[in-house]
Every structure is written in C-alpha cells, then in structure tokens.
A and B are shown apart, each in its own frame.
Chain A
Amino acid sequence: MSFVPGQPVTAVVQRIEIQKLRQGENLILGFSIGGGIDQDPGQNPFSEDKSDKGIYVTRISPGGPAELAGLRIGDKIMQVNGWDMTMVTHDDARKKLTKKKEDVVRVLVTRKSLEEAVKHSKGTHPKHECGGSTSMHRLMQ
C-alpha cells in the first residue's frame, strides 16, 4: 500500500456500503478513524509503511452499522462516496464521513488480506478475472 509520488496508486479495494444509524439526533457509523496528512504516520499501528498518511479504521463498535456491513479494524479507507481519502486531513475525512444529509456511505477500503486473496486467486486460477466484491482500482495520486 505504499505509493510512489507522482504515480497513480493501485490497490485492491472492497466496496462496503454502510447504513448510518440514527442515535438521538446524530447519525453514527460505528467506527473510529485515525490518520491523515496532518497527523504523525509513525504512530499508526495498522499501516505497513510507516510513512503512510492515509485514513485507517482504528476501532469498530461491536454490533454497529460498520461491523454489520463488513468493515474491519485496520482497514485503510481509500474513498468515501467518491471523495478521495488518501490525501486528506483528519478533520476533512471526518467531515466527509459525517455529512448529515447522507444516510449511507459507500466506502472503498483496502487491507492486506485482500491483496493476498487476489494474489492467491491469481496464482491458483491465472485465467479467471476476479469479480465479486473486490476490484482493482486505480486512484490518481
């Protein structure tokens, strides 16, 4: 998941659709994020590359909408509803996730197990295209 500056980022992502849950007057998603271009990347326990300033999922509330939708702890969020999350400040990421007018967020997340799953499937079935919920996306850096 490292990037070369100037080159588009390539990653295997999973599309997850999370329905926001209404709690009182807030709409919550049920997870916590960490990271951002204004944060210290060295303290991120989930990233492989300690210079990665992307947004990571640091905590999932058990039984919350995120867990039900399939988000896992340690996931790196690449896109939220079409907005890029690889080069944003922490607060911008929060804002894109907590827009009051949207009831559902569609995130593209990546994790190491996805890459390995693709490699595995590529290795065993070289001729099959991978489909289903995973796809490879090219993201402009």
Chain B
Amino acid sequence: MDTESTYSGYSYYSGRSRGSHRHGERSRDRHKPRSKDSRSEKSVTINTPPAEPLLGDSAVRGEQVQDDNWGETTTAVTGTSEHSLSQEDIVRITKDLEDSVGLDCRRYFARTLAIILGLLVFFTPLAFLVLPHILWPENLKTCGTACEGLFISVAFKLLILLLAVWALFFRPARAGLPRVYVFRALLAVLVLLFVISYWLFYGVRILESKDDNYQGIVQYAVSLVDALLFIHYLAIVLLELRQLQPCFSVCITRSTDGETRHYNLGQLSIQRAALAIIEHYYCDFPVHNPALLSASKSRAAKHLAGLKVYNVDGEFPAAPAEGPGNNAAAAGIAHSQSRAMIAAAARRRDTSHNELYYEEAEHERRVRKRRARLVVAVEEAFTHIKRMQEEEQKKSPGDIMDPREAAQAIFPSMARALQKYLRTTKQQHCHSMESIQQHLAFCITNNMTPKAFLESYLTPGPTLRYSRDHWRARQWTLISEASVTSSLKDGSIFLLKCVDFSLVVTTKKIPYIQMSEEYIDPKSHKFVLRLQSETSV
C-alpha cells in the first residue's frame, strides 16, 4: 500500500524538515532576499501546485505558435500592455508564496534549537571554570602551574571544537527533507543528555559541597571538552563517513521517456538517498522535453479509436447500477467488452507500424538536412568576425565591438537555420533568443569554434544547464511504502514524483564477495606442445 510521506508521526522536533544543528548556522543567510532562498532549495511539499500541468502545457503550446520573426530584427507593436505578466511569471509567484509561507516556521524553529544547544555546549566548560571563582573565591586553592597548563589545553580544545563544528555543520542546507534527519536528532539528544549529566554531577558534587580543589574542577572541565570532541568524531562518522562506501546500486528510470541511469550509494536512509538521487538527476539526466512524447500518445489514441463496441443483446450497461448484483453484471459486461476489443484489435491487420517506420525515417532525414544547413550557416557566420590584434587597434576605432555586439552582428545570419533546427527537434522552448545570443557572445569571447557553439543545441544537455524556468521539476514528492527514515534495503522501491513525470528508483544490494587466494610459483609456468587431443563421445 503506497503511503505518501506525510507530516504525521513527528518526534518532539515537530514540524521539522531537517535535524537540528549544533550551532546556529547561516545567520548571514537570513539577510539574503527571501525569494532567492526559497528558489535555491528543492522544497518537498505535498500540495501539488494547482493547475500546474495545464499551465505548463499551454506555455509550451503557446510558444509553438511563436512568431516566426523572432530571428529578424523587425519591431512590431503588440497588443499587450507594458505591465503584462507572462504565464510563467504567475506560476513562479504562486510557487514562491507557497514556499515562503509553508516552511519558514519549521526552519526557524530548528535553527533556534540548534543555536540554543550550541551556546549551552560552548559555555558549559567556561561556566564550570568560572563559577567557583564567583561563588566561593576565598576557599579556593590557588591554581598551580599544572592547573594553568590545563587552562591552555581547555582553550585550544574549545577552539578546535569550534572550528570542527563550523566545518561540519555550518554549511548551506542542500534541501528540505520530509522527516527529521535521524542521525542529527540523535546526536543532538546525545549531546544534550551528556551536558545535562555533567551539569548534574557538577551541581551536586561541586557546587553544593563547595569543593576547593580547583585543579580537580579544571580537570573535570577538560574531560568535558574531550568528550565533546569525541562526540564530534562520532558525528563525523555517522553523518559523513558511513555512507561513503558504496553498498547499493540504484537504478533510476524516468517514467515518461524511459531514460535510465545507475548509481552507487552507501548506507543511507530513504530520504537521504532520494536527495542524492535528485542531485544526480539534475546533473546527469537530459532535460525533460514533453514535446517529444506527443507522438506516442497520438498513436495510442489511434489504436483504440478504430473499434466501437455495440451490444446487440438488449442489455443497457449505461443504466444506473442498483445493488451489488447489478454492479457485478455491469462490471462483467464491461469486462467482456474490453476483452472483445482486445481480441478484435489483435486480429485486425494493423498497419500503424508501417506508418511509424516511415515517419521516423522521414523525420531522421529532415533533422539531418536541417542540421547540415545549420552547421554551414554557423560556420559561415563565424568567418565574419575575427579577434582584433593589438596593432590594428590604431587603424579603425569605429568598428571595434565588444563580444555582445559582435554576437548581435552575426546572429541574424544564422538565426533562421538555428530556429528551424530547434523547431524540428522540438527544442525551441528550451532556448530563448536572449540565451542564444548570450551563449554566442560567450563562445566568441573564449575563442570557441562553430562546432563548440553548436554543441549545446545539437544534444539535449543535463537539466542544470538550462535556465530555471525550463527545469519543470522544482517540487519533488517522495512516495514510498517503507518509512522514509528507514535505511535502504535490497529491493526497496520508491518514487520521486514531480508534476510532469516521476522517477522510479529500485535498489539492489552489492553482493558480499568471498575472495580466496592462490599462490602461483613463477617458475611453474612451463609449456609443452600438445597437438594430440582426445575427445570422449
């Protein structure tokens, strides 16, 4: 039974999407603009944005009937006002609103908890050292040299602890996960218990009895800092080292076009594995292009369109079913109808495979032709400009252009060919004119050849390469039968759903390898001619 990961069953860090940190982090990030923050994280929420697929599809469709003249420098007066928003802007704004409202309180709650814990932990040894001087200074034995040496040790160990915590925890968060990050929560609880027990001991044995052995107290504080360093070591092992060794091989398949990749992951919980997988997705999978899927959908529609089922026995399956008996009868009728359709479709002499074959061959030919035209046009365009040498600088100051102007100068000659090619391969919505000109200026600046310039248009690159508007995969939902904080097992399957498609993930365990050794004496390699073979029959 599929259960989407919901926000029920929280620990006392309720409303959390990340575990707490040892120290307050990213105080500087609070000053960052709000919208940037929410866009930089792949937030996981359950509410799918309303009407998103419609908007997404119509955005694509709208651009397919794009004005053919964008490649040329004609100006035209359009009917829209200056303050119009495109559909994508509207979608973006609604998404930002949702992001900002939904997750703020959870994140801030966790952060404040982490800061409190961190400050408590940091000031405890200092408090241990300072309190005797405040409360009973007159009874205290003076601190000898060994004791003062321990002061230095406490200071440096605290400094190292501070640096280590900064290195491990003060990192920008990569994502918002649906449930508590179990290891971090456990570590925080461990640290809290540890510090509380130290305080208890201190309070009972030292404060109440007003112990005057200051060296002992300093050693006690030093032991606390040592133990904190060991807990930090435990944190490194649990959070960083444990998942480095590959243990599972995961196979990710995109549901719409079957794009498949395999990765190696270590021992991770399902939600952390999902996070790693999504990051790999952005880097490796070619961008999802919904325009390429329309052909198979139309074929599927044609398969069923040719047959109609008529019922000549006088029963009316469209009559409202009353009671379970009628339901079963209606279901039975529908069942037999669909069986009849399947049988008839199998027997029918279907020539759709023929159409598909010739259509694909034709498309291939068309793509190749346009590609050839494009390559020639771009090569010719690139010959029109060349990098200016130093001595020519004095000759004609009027014609000197910076890369952007140079790109704008040669763009029109290749625009038409490029636009036609993008239309044929259904990529035209991924590249706007502005982005193409920018890319051209970039290539000119870096002395790239026409082939290098064309590379990004001939093959669909990974999703990250395109602008954020075209990612089509901003909100991910993790669907899993097992709890998302349980660790990956052999054969565990879960889904990462986003609005347009989903990624199906299956895991397989890397097997245990039993290796034995065999020693071969180098002198034992001796050979003899053997031309007589014997076969038993």
Contact = CB atoms under 8 A, between A and B. Distances in A.
B295 interface: no
Interface stretch (B378-386, B475-483, B529-537): B529-537
A interface secondary structure, majority: mixed
Interface residues of A, number: 18
B536 to A, nearest CB: 4
A39 B533 contact: yes
Nearest to A61: B536
A40 B532 contact: yes
A33 B532 contact: no
Contacts of B534: 32-34, 58-59
Interface in B482-537: 529, 531-537
A90 B533 contact: yes
A39 B533 CA distance: 7
A28 interface: yes
B536 A40 contact: no
B465 to A, nearest CB: 57
Contact of B536 (A39, A44, A59, A90): A59
A31 B536 contact: yes
B534 to A, nearest CB: 5
A25 B35 CA distance: 73
Nearest to B532: A43
A33 B536 CA distance: 6
B535 A39 contact: no
Contact of A94 (B529, B531, B537): B537
A43 B537 contact: no
Contacts of A39: 531-533
A98 interface: yes
A34 B533 CA distance: 6
A48 B370 CA distance: 77
A97 interface: yes
B166 to A, nearest CB: 70
Interface centre among B532, B534, B537 (most CB of A within 10 A): B537
A29 interface: yes
Contact of B537 (A35, A40, A44, A97): A97
A109 B537 CA distance: 16
Contact of B535 (A43, A44, A94): A94
Contacts of B535: 32-34, 90, 94
Contacts of B537: 28-29, 31-33, 94, 97-98
B171 to A, nearest CB: 64
Interface in A13-63: 28-29, 31-35, 39-40, 43-44, 58-59, 61
Nearest to A93: B535
Contacts of A34: 532-535
Q: Lowest 10 A-B CB distances belong to which pairs?
A: A40-B531, A43-B532, A32-B536, A97-B537, A34-B534, A94-B535, A29-B537, A32-B534, A39-B532, A58-B534
Interface of A: 28-29, 31-35, 39-40, 43-44, 58-59, 61, 90, 94, 97-98
8 contacts: A29-B537, A32-B534, A33-B534, A39-B532, A40-B529, A40-B531, A61-B536, A90-B535
Given A33-B534, A59-B534, A90-B535, 9 more contacts: A29-B537, A34-B535, A35-B532, A40-B529, A58-B534, A59-B536, A61-B536, A90-B533, A94-B537
